[in-house]
Each structure stands twice: as C-alpha cells, then as structure tokens.
Amino acid sequence: MRYISTRGEAPALGFEDVLLTGLATDGGLYVPESLPHFSVEEIRSWRGLPYAELAYKVMYPFVEDAIPADDFRKMLGETYSVFSHQAVAPLVQLDTNEWVMELFRGPTLAFKDFALQLLGRLLDYVLEKRKQHVVIMGATSGDTGSAAIEGCRRCEHVDIFILHPYQRVSEVQRRQMTTVQGDNIHNIAVKGNFDDCQRMVKESFGNQSFLGGKTQLAAVNSINWARIMAQIVYYFQASLALGGPDRSMAFSVPTGNFGDIFAGYLAKKMGLPISQLVIATNRNDILHRFMSGNKYEQHQLEHTLSPSMDIMVSSNFERLLFDLHGRDGAAVKDLLERAAKGPVSIEDYRWKHARKLFDSDAVDDKTTCDTIRDIYEKNEYLLDPHTAIGVRAARNCRRDSTVPMITLGTAHPAKFPDAIAESGLVVKPQLPAHMADLFEREERYTVLDNNVSEVQGFIAKHWKNA
C-alpha cells in the first residue's frame, strides 16, 4: 500500500517511511492511496475475536508490505496485553440503546494508549531493522504526551521531546508525563497554548536543519498515520459487540484534533455500517461552527475543564477536507492557506455531503458539569469531562433512537478531579493501583518561552548524540 499527501506535492511513500516521516514534505498529511474494504459477511465472521486478533484483521492491509504477518500479530498481542480489562475496550450501558465505550483501560488512562502503545513497538521494529535513530517531537493538550512517553520510553533508538502548554493541563496529566524517568525523555512546558506547541512541531518538521543532519524527527501526534490506523479498530469492536454489522451504529466522539472521529469515518468507508458520527466539542468549537454552518474561522483559544480539547487548529480535519475535495491536493492547500488569513467556507454541495454523516455540538463547562452529575446520580457511573461532552452531544444530536449510540469514553475521571469537584459531586475518583503514588514521584520538566528557536535549541542540545 502506498500513502499520498493531502497537499498533492510530496512523493508517495510506503508504510515504513510514513511511520518515520509524520508530516509530508509539502506540509500535508499522509493518507492511504486506497482503503481496504470488507464485506458484511467478512466483518460478521470477526464476531467473538479477541481484541488483538480483530486489530490484526482491520490493520494488516495497511502494513503488509512492511511487516510479516506473524511479527505484526505478536506486536499486537504485546500491545493490548498491558490493558487492565480483558475486553480491552469494554462497553458500559447508560440507557436504552445508549453506551459508553471505555477507551481508558490502558497504562496512561486515555484512548491515546490504543495507538501509542502500538506506535512504540512499530518504531522499535522499523528502527532496529534500519539501524536508525530518530528524535520524537510531539505536542500534547494533555493525554498524548504521557501515552507517547509510556509507549516509546523503552525504545532503544529514540529520544523523546514532548511539548505541553505550561499550566494548561491537569495536574494528573502533567505528572503522568513528568515523573517518568529516563535519559531519553524530555518534557518541555511552553509558555503558550496547545496550538502554539502544535505549530512549533509542524514548523520543526518542515525544517529540520536545527538537528544538523545527524538524525531526523518522528511524529507521535495524530499527524502520524499509524495513530489513525490503530483507532479504526475500536469502531469495529463496538459494532460487533452490539449486533453489527447487521445493524448500523452511531458514535459520539469528544474531539479536538479530529483524529479519533476521522478514524470512525474511515471505518465506515472500509465497510462498517455507521449511520451517524457526532463531533463533540467544548467552547473551542471551530469544528462545530464549520459542521453546523459551513464557516471555518479561528477564534481565541479558551481554557476549559476539558483541556485535551482546548484546540483551535484541528490538524486531522485536513484529511477529511482532502476527501471532500475529491482528493485534490492543490485545492486543499489553497483552502488552508486562505484559512490561515481569515474565515473560509467550502462549496455548499461539499459541505452538504459531509453533513450526511456528521453532526456536531459544542458543550460549555456548566453543561459538562451538569452532565457528569446527572449521569452519576442516575447510574452511579462517573464520566470524565471529555466523555461527558460526548454524552451530552450524543443526546442533543441523535437522529434515530433505534440505532445504538456509542460515546467514546476517552479518559479516566481521576485525571480531572477539578471537573468532578465542580460538578458538585462529593465522590472523589481514585487513581488505579499502578498510579497510586503519582503525587509522590519526582517531576522533571523544563519551562521555555513560546519561541520555536528556543525549543529547537533545547532539542539540538539534549538529544543523546548531540
């Protein structure tokens, strides 16, 4: 399988090169040249498979030119054996035909573990084969950083530099990143917001001269295709558990960077019956404003109780725009260049095509807290603020009550005690046993100004062979 850029100018690459490259040389994101498609009969035959085996069925077409089948099966078995629930992604029922899929059973208590536990093993495999070293540079609004560090910290051929917005992630999220010890692990707190961190990462991938030609950058953000690929699987898992593919499903997805919901869009294109995808956002609602009114316009970023979605520039949205524009890279490049200068819209027929599948909602902090309290009082089930936004958006946007609605539960509530407290509940979410001493562990991180040259200088000085 070959991968092409959403901007249409970079050369097509195989899986190994896409894994290591992240951002395309023309500034675009890599997507498969064509998608595998599974029949209803084939999907039905996967009922009852363990999660790792289902992951193999869904993902192997994307990597088969680069990784032998037995090696990939072994990798997947190791990846999902570290999750704390035998089902890996269990479903919890909230109401009639309403479910939460718990995607926080991995080692860092967030859905990012599904992709980043695998990404670390993929990098180890490919870099060992090539005898190559890379510098991982990533930006996090809260959860990607800890999941990336946990997934990649044992990799022999990488140094890890994770940027997070200073004082704009929860304390648990920060400590999950900054208490992991290792000479190859570096946490950078940037005096800015997540979009500033993400912009620095993209700029650095576009010009890697600060590394002196001695190594290259690798991406752990969802600009890396491998991240999206791994997230497709749990849409199939949820569907198969609830009667799919013989009945359609609806999904509500708390999302800031659009990667997790784009994976659902791909699952549908690959043959999974999905009738509705709900984009659930907080006050940073650029995706909702586009999907509800065909206006893509950046506003001032706001700090909320759901910090992992405090994002205004949704990188993976470019991948959807590429499809909406008939895979015309030049058109996507032109649109995004205009979007950087002011509000843009797309042709009405393209927007209406997107609206056939996608709905959206923006949920403020008060409604988020009300939802956390309401669900707990009725079910004794505690939602984190991001999942609460997903549940509220699902209820507000639901098209058909006979279709199962599944909200992706993206994080453990213990990561966001402030939101739980603000909801008025006296219950205090407890960290699982393997994190019980998190607040006693020593932290290590460096605070830097919101300046790309300063950040690049730090990385150039501190990677192991500098």
Catalytic positions: 112
| Cβ atoms 204, 198 nearer than 8 A | no
Distances (CA, A) of 258 to 221, 306, 331, 455: 12, 15, 20, 26
Contacts for 448-451: CB closer than 8 Å, 24+ residues apart: 448/188, 448/189, 448/190, 448/191, 449/190, 449/191, 450/190, 450/191, 450/192, 450/196
- Long-range CB contacts (< 8 A, 24+ apart) of 71-75? 71/125, 75/118, 75/121, 75/122, 75/125
Place of tokens 């999902």: 80
Q: From CA 179, how far away is CA 270, in angstroms rounded?
A: 40
Spatial distance between the Cα atoms of 132 and 56, rounded to a whole number of angstroms:
26
102-106 long-range Cβ contacts below 8 angstroms, 24+ apart? 102/409, 103/234, 103/408, 103/409, 103/410, 104/384, 104/409, 104/410, 104/411, 104/412, 106/82, 106/147
CA 254, CA 390: separation in Å to the nearest integer?
5
Tokens of residue 82, six digits = 């570290």
CA distance 268 to 183: 42
Question: Is beta strand 30-32 parallel, antiparallel or unpaired with respect to 3-5?
Answer: antiparallel
Residue 208 gets the label, from left (phi > 0), alpha (psi -120 to 50) or beta, of: alpha
Question: What SS3 state is found at 294?
Answer: coil
Q: Give me 24's structure tokens.
A: 């395309």
The length of the chain in residues reads 466
What's the rounded Cα separation, in Å, for the pair 414 and 383? 9
For residue 329, give the nearest of 62, 34, 36, 27 by alpha carbon.
Answer: 27
